[in-house]
Structure 1
C-alpha cells in the first residue's frame, strides 16, 4: 500500500484524473434535477476537466474553471435551468491548488474572481442569495485553510530535503577531499621514492664509470648498489601504484566553471539561504585546478554562512576574472549561530584552514573576518597560472 501511495504521489495527473472522474459521476447522478438534461450533461462533462491538470498548469486551469463556470451560468440563464452543477466544487479545488502550490497572491486574485462569478451566477439564476453565499464562503474558507496547512508542510519538507541534500553533498565532498589528500600523500611518497632511487643510481653509475678501469672492485660494488636500489625502488613503485589504480566515479567530481558555481548556489538557495550571485569574466576556460579551488571556496563559504549567519541568512557571491587571477568575494549577513535544536549542520571547524591550505597550494591568498559593516567576508585571490608544487 505504501509503494502504491509513493507511486501515486509521483504521478499527480493520475490522482487528479480520479478526482475529476468522481466529480463527473456526481454530475451524472444529479442530471435528474435538471430541466434541460442535454445542456446540463454537456457542461457537466467539461467542468471537471481542469482538475486533471490542476497541479501541472495551476494558473491556466484556474482561469479555465472560472470561464466554464460563467458559461454554465449563461446556459442555465438561457435555458431557465436552476439546477446546480456539483462539479463546480472544482472551483474550491483550484483555489486550494493555487494557494498551496503557487502562492497567496494568485489565490487572492482567483478568490476575487470566484466572488464575482458567484454574484453573477446568483443574479442570472434568480436564486436566493443567502444560503448560497454562506455555504460558498465556508467552502472556500475551508479550502484556503487546508491549502495553508498543506503548503506550509510542503515548504517544510522541501527545506528539510534541501538541507539533507546539502549535508549528503558535503559528506561526499569531504570523503572525496580525504581520498584526494591521501592520493596526494601517496604521490609525494612516490616522488620521494623514485627521486631518491634515481639520484643514488646516477651517483653510483658515475662513480662506477670512473672506477671501472682503476678499481674494478669499487665499480662492481657500485653496480651492486645500483641493482639493489633499482629493485627496491621497483618494489616501492609497484606498491604505490597499486593504491592508485581505482579511479573516482565521474559523478563524484565537482562540475567546473560557471555551471558548477551555479549548482552550489542553487543548492544553497533550496535550504532557505538567500544568495545573490555575480560572475564576471570568462570562468569556463580556466585551469581545472583553479576552477576546482574557486568551486570549493564558494561552497565552503556558503556552508559556513548556513551554519553561523543566524535564522535568516543572506549571502553575496562575487567571482571575477582579471587578466592575471580570479577574485572570490563571499559576504554574508553576519549574525549568531542558530539555537533551535537540530537547526544547525555541524561542521569540523576546519573549513577556513582547508580553504587557506587550498589557496596556498595554488599560489594565492585568502582573508576572512568581519568587515567594517560587521558582516563576515571571505576574500580570495587565485592566480590563473597556479604555482608549481615541486
Structure 2
C-alpha cells in the first residue's frame, strides 16, 4: 500500500511539474501571482473595509484559477464568477477591487480565445447572467448594466477575434507547408526522372559501344595472322566506335555539369539509324535497313527514343544472336510509328532469358510517349523480334 501510494504521489508530481514546463504555462503562473499579489496589496491599503478575509480568499482563488486559463478556460470563468457571487453575498462590493475586475476581464478573454465557439458562447451567456444578477442585487441603473455587459463582452469578443486570426495563420502556415512539400516532392520526382533518363542514355551508349568494340577486336584477333589488312580495318572500326562512344559520353557528362563555352552536339534522331546500320555492317555483321511509309517530322524526344530502341535492339542481337543477320524496319503509318528489329538466330537458352535492363529501358522510353514495346521469339521462323510502336498525330 505504501509503495502504491508513493508511486501515485510521484505520478501526480510528475504530471503537475510537466504542466508548467511550457512557456505559456509559466506566463500564466506569473500572471496569477502578480494579480493575486496586487489584490492583497489593495486589501492591505484599505480598498475593502469589511470582510477582508473573504476578500483575500476570493482574490487569491481568482488569481490561482488564472493559472489554468488556457487549458480550462470555461472552468476558470465559472470559478471566477462563483467567487464573485460568494464575496458579493458576504457583503464585499463587486467593484471594491481592481484586481478582481482584472480577473474577470482575463477570464472572459480566455474563454473567447481558447475555447471552441460553442463553449465560448456558453461562457459569454453565463458571464452576462452573473453580471446582470450582481448589478440587480446592488440596485444599479441602466448605465451599470451597459458597463457590466461591456466588461464581459468586450474581452470575450477580443479573444474570439484573436483566436480566429491565430487559426487563420495556422491554416495559412499549413497550406504553405503543404505547397512547399508538394514542390519538394515534384522536384524530387523530376530529379528521379532525370536520373532514370541519364541512366538509360548511359546504358545505351556504353553497352552499344563496348559490345561493338568487343566484336570488332575479336574479329581483328582472328584475322591478324591470315589477313592483316582486314584485321587493321577491324581495329580502325574499334577506334571509330570508341571515339563515337566518348563523344556521346562527353555530351551526357556535359548535361550533368555544364560549363561556359562547352561545345554542344545534338542528340541522335531516327535519321541517324542509317549510320548506325552502316557501322554494324562495317564491323562485319549482316544488317539491313528498310524505311517504309511517308517520312514525317517527329518530336525530338520521340525521335531520340526511337533511335535508342534500335541501338539497344542491335546491341542485344550482337550479344545474344552471335553471327545471325538482323533486319531493321522503320515504318511510318498514318497514326503511328513502328520500329521492328528482327534476327534469324537459332533458339538458345540465353536468348529466351530476360534481356535485363536493356528491354526495360526500351519499354520506359516508349511509355514516355504513349508507346509500347513487344519482344519475344518469332513465330514464322527461328529468331527474335523487338517491336516498338509510337502513336502519332494523324495528318
TM, length-normalised to structure 2: 0.48
The structure that has the greater radius of gyration is: 2
